[in-house]
Amino acid sequence: MANAVLQIRTDADVKAKCDELFKDLGITISDAVNMFLRQCLIHEGLPMEIKRQRPNTATPQALAEAKQLEQDPNKKVYSNFQELLSEVQSDA
């Protein structure tokens, strides 16, 4: 099979760190890139999950509750944590 040249650009610090890492693993950056490309073919896509972070289902609910509490004119307000803690301990 004939070889083809592939040029990529990357941050110099990333390249240096990867050179060191791959040297410890006994491979070159070229070997690592070839492994990545072969895995792309095996997976018929990227061999890792690429996604944006999304909050779990409880987070939007908690944010909505916080907004609701913030707008409540009857909400209890504390001057400091000790004041809150004292009330919680007296209710216990």
* Model confidence, pTM: 0.55
Distance separating alpha carbons of residues 19 and 14, to the nearest angstrom: 8
Please report the pLDDT score of residue 45 as a whole number: 96
Please report the pLDDT score of residue 52 as a whole number: 83
For residue range 14-61, list pLDDT tens digits in order.
Answer: 999 999 999 999 999 999 999 999 999 999 999 999 888 888 989 999
Continuous H helices in the chain: 12-25, 29-43, 58-71, 81-91
Domain segments of the chain: what residues? Answer: 58-91
Distance separating alpha carbons of residues 37 and 21, to the nearest angstrom: 19
pLDDT over threshold 80, residue 92: no
CB 78 within 8 A of CB 84: yes
Provide the token pair at 37. Answer: 């490309």
Provide the token pair at 24. Answer: 């410890």
If pLDDT is split at 50, 70 and 90, which confidence band does 76 have? confident
